[in-house]
Amino acid sequence: MQTTLRGRDLISDLDFSKEEVETVLDVAWDLKMKRALGQPHAYLRDKVLAMLFFFSSTRTRGSFEAGMAQLGGHAAFIESRTTQISHGDTEREMGEIFGRYFDGIAIRHVDWGVGNRYLNLVADASRVPVLNMQCEIYHPHQCLADLMTIIEKKGRNLRRKKMVVSWAYAASYLKPVSVPQSLVLQMPRFGMDVVLAHPPEFPLMPEVMQQARDLARANGAGFEVVHDMKEACKDADVIYAKSWGPLVTTTDPAEGKRVQDQYKDWVANDELIALGKDDVIYMHPLPADRDIEVTSSVLDGRHSVVFDEAENRLHAQKAVMALTMS
């Protein structure tokens, strides 16, 4: 068991080794049980986390904020538009100054070509851990909660389990590619056979795809890309179907919407889920475009684990904070 996580950043999913991720999950299950039993677990008494948001959030804000309080500390919710960042505070200044006030700096910044660089520049200047609450490339804390949920439902041995990560149609906005990218990086390390399904205009970043292929090969796992949602879902153990924007192809919102609107039939519905194994689970990080991206019958149906998945954000993040900020 690798336990040397104190002071570490979590920006990319691969910042923690597989063994370190296993440590995070073990701590997460311990904290989950302690909360269930009402046992105090104030590992971060008097510690304060800065939560700097450049984009809206329901689950991420709620789970980090509740998690810090349950660990005996406090989380400061800071919206970028209420700061002096637009008046000149640089990444270096944010890292230096917040690093002196706080015991950890969590940031959500999903702007294409901007967010990940911002997090890394703040981390370079910070003396405390920087935690990625989602950038345009990775959503590592969502992915830890996803892995935790899959293990709870399918057992610790995930080898040869088929995980489908599929694009689905959404009408609301061009969603980041960070969730599918984190999934294709993390799941092969745990032996899952990943099938990535998307229309041709919705590829993931080439460098992430290369890393995913290399990790699958190194871990003896399968990794396949198909352009047909139904073909992908046959005999699946896990169907993780969600929308993302064609951001690798175009960052123009109007052009992206035009491309996206060609694929309105890419919907997670009962017929799709029926293609999976009898005990297939349906996952989505939420928010979802209900009855557009996924039908209510799937989202609220017996295969859906979306609420357990959302709950596990709390436990997984508490584990990361306790291990990195103590």
Q: Which residues bind ligand CP (CB under 6 A)?
A: 57-60, 134, 142, 285-287
DSSP state of 50: E
By beta-carbon proximity to ligand CP, the closer residue of 47 and 59 is 59
3 burial type by CB count under 10 A (0-12 exposed, 13-18 middle, 19+ buried): exposed
- Closest CB to ligand CP belongs to which residue? 60
**Cβ–Cβ contacts within 10 Å for residue 82, how many?**
9
Of 188, 203, 289, which Cα lies nearest the Cα of 241?
Answer: 289
By beta-carbon proximity to ligand CP, the closer residue of 161 and 313 is 313
Q: Check: CB of residue 142 under 8 Å from CB of residue 10.
A: no
d(CA 295, CA 301): 9
- Work out how close the CB of 312 gets to ligand CP at its nearest, in angstroms, rounded to a whole number: 11
- Work out how close the CB of 56 gets to ligand CP at its nearest, in angstroms, rounded to a whole number: 7
Exposure string of 19-48, with b = 16+ CB inside 10 Å and e = fewer, is: ebbbbbbebbbbbbeebeeeeebebbeebb
- Work out how close the CB of 73 gets to ligand CP at its nearest, in angstroms, rounded to a whole number: 20
- Work out how close the CB of 135 gets to ligand CP at its nearest, in angstroms, rounded to a whole number: 12
- Work out how close the CB of 258 gets to ligand CP at its nearest, in angstroms, rounded to a whole number: 25
Of 175, 181, 202, which Cα lies nearest the Cα of 55?
Answer: 175
